[in-house]
Chains A and B, each alone.
Chain A
């Protein structure tokens, strides 16, 4: 068992409070490559386990929106002013108030599309296989159980020590996960 390459070690808990307690403990003990798998978003769990990151996702979405705004306004400008100008009673070709509505719609469409792909990109999805799926009982992580994992690449990784910590925190089951 110890010869095979490991993905890490996981512990299964019955509720979010137990998970939070042990995550806090690991964090204080210097573990960094830890993650939790829960059936619903647990308040503050990610912020506690992982260092804060720059707000790339909102910035990307903003960027998508700006591109959409520029694209749609330019398309209308191109059509109405450059490619096929029609003189309607001497009104300006670049009749921007009329172009605001389609520009708004395309802006938000681009922003939401960017949001979808940013979510997938930053979550590393789609990824249909992951070593964590080999953990016994892991199908309950999407229903009513809470899992905590420490990856083997963590500098403090030590199966026996982690097993001890997990068991002292009332883990239902501790499993070693092959890579």
Chain B
């Protein structure tokens, strides 16, 4: 493949040197090799240190209460909530890549879907913890479950906050099932290649005795297709309901009908950005240049660009609303958001999410790992800032001037943020070590199809 063709995104979906046996061997060896590479240990130690910081921050929070954070009236929703939204958006990217693009029969999905889904499961962990940290009495969080109880009361099913909880619980379970079904044939490959009895038993039990018979495959394909067809609308609903949490509130800056799709657009751009970052790192770390090519980066970058364009549209609409409507509070809040104490955050997030991603229109940027990584990192930071803007600047200028106030994060706010990144990375490094990170069976199918034609 010539340099020019590569630059224009015509890279092969799989390098011609990759064969059925080589892909099975290369991906299985990642988990079967006796020791981990040095970069894994460096990354894991760093992540685990951050994770320990989360443990300390959580203990400090549980001992002292949420006063250790910067939250107070009127800004009662702080970092915990904005990080919850941030993480759940990042998680959604995993399902978007793996379920939505399975339905469109995009071949590039096969090399990246396992990375995306692993990312999803790791990102759900901090997303699920944050609301529990936030509620102040974390020991009583189970009250939100609908169960017959001695108090004789029920959760309020008309509240978007409860819908959100139901969504997350369902999403976690469904994602695990989808992940597991997708991985079943690969676990069998790892089982068959394992050399030590311990690993043979471990992967043998996980693979459930998968034999890859024609009957198995026919049912597997059917079930996987149905699961993907259910997961795709499901993930749209999950992040839309997060948007409804806000839209159902009367606070200026929240009470907007565009929130559900607006939040989903944010999930597309930030989730895919994180998939791109992890894909670039995994490809570099394990030398998977044969199965993850410029083709995949190009395709992912296009999805991210689409997300950026949709999100820019939402930003424009969000700015249009306060001036088209006649609500003074909305307008005051919005002007404060642009030019007030947190004004610089607004402009930075606009640059990171709306302007810089437009570079992706250039084909040669889309296949270059370094600029792509930088743009993705910018988007992830930008999306964190967007959540900050939505949650905090909306609350800091409420209807009455007596309800105006500022939010200043404390050390423990930042520690929770760093720790949430720590738990995500720790889990991701563990999955990298234990489970096949590329869908081997789907890669074999692609090799077969490519060589036949």
Contact = CB atoms under 8 A, between A and B. Distances in A.
Q: Which of A99, A122, A129, A142 has the most CB of B within 10 A?
A: A142
Given A57-B223, A119-B223, A127 B208 contact: yes
B209 A122 contact: no
Interface stretch (A72-80, A154-162, A168-176): A72-80
A128 B233 CA distance: 35
Contacts of A120: 208
Interface string B219-234: 1111100110011011
Interface in B21-72: 21, 24-25
B192 A126 contact: no
Nearest to A144: B20
Contact of A144 (B19, B167, B218, B237): B19
A132 interface: yes
Given A41-B221, A115-B227, A128-B209, A109 B170 contact: yes
Given A115-B227, A128-B204, A128-B205, A102 B162 contact: yes
B180 A116 contact: yes
Q: Is the interface of A mostly helix, strand, loop or mixed?
A: helix
Given A50-B215, A79-B154, A130 B193 contact: no
B220 A112 contact: no
A142 B230 contact: no
Given A40-B448, A106-B170, A139-B192, A144 B24 contact: yes
Contacts of B223: 57, 61, 115-116, 118-119
Contact of B153 (A84, A106, A108): A84
B231 A50 contact: no
Interface residues of B, number: 63
Interface string A29-55: 000000111111110011101100000
B166 A101 contact: yes
A153 interface: no
B302 interface: no
A36 B158 contact: no
Interface in B243-293: 244
A136 B25 CA distance: 19
B122 interface: no
Contact of A39 (B152, B180, B212, B233): B212
Interface residues of A, number: 58
A108 B209 contact: no
A123 B192 contact: no
Given A39-B444, A84-B152, A102-B162, A129 B24 contact: no
Interface string B75-113: 000000000000000000000000000000000000000
Contacts of A57: 219, 222-223, 226
B216 interface: yes
Interface string A100-112: 0110111011011
A36 B217 CA distance: 10
Contacts of B342: none
B241 interface: yes
B10 interface: no
Among A38, A57, A83, A120, find the residue whose CB has the most chain B CB atoms closer than 10 A. Answer: A38
Q: Is the interface of B mostly helix, strand, loop or mixed?
A: helix
B137 interface: no
Contacts of A76: 157
A130 B152 CA distance: 52
A29 B226 CA distance: 35
A40 B189 CA distance: 11
A99 B159 CA distance: 9
Nearest to B248: A98
A38 to B, nearest CB: 6
A38 B217 contact: yes
A147 B166 CA distance: 45
B210 interface: yes
Contacts of A80: 154, 157-158
Interface in B429-447: 441-442, 444-445
Interface in A1-54: 16, 35-42, 45-47, 49-50
A82 B363 CA distance: 60
B303 interface: no
A95 B163 CA distance: 14
Nearest to A100: B163
Interface stretch (B171-179, B332-340, B385-393, B394-402): B171-179
B209 A139 contact: no
Given A36-B214, A79-B146, A132-B211, A142 B189 contact: yes
B181 interface: yes
A87 interface: no
Given A95-B158, A115-B227, A142 B163 contact: no
B391 to A, nearest CB: 21
Counting chain B CB atoms within 10 Å of each CB, the highest count among A39, A83, A128, A138 belongs to: A39
Nearest to B171: A105
B307 interface: no
Residue of B185, B223, B237, B442 ringed by the most chain A CB atoms within 10 A:
B223
Interface string B9-21: 0000000000111
8 contacts: A16-B448, A37-B214, A84-B154, A102-B163, A105-B237, A109-B173, A130-B209, A144-B20
Given A45-B218, A83-B154, A105-B166, 14 more contacts: A36-B213, A36-B214, A38-B212, A46-B217, A49-B214, A57-B222, A101-B167, A113-B174, A115-B223, A116-B227, A119-B219, A119-B220, A127-B208, A139-B192
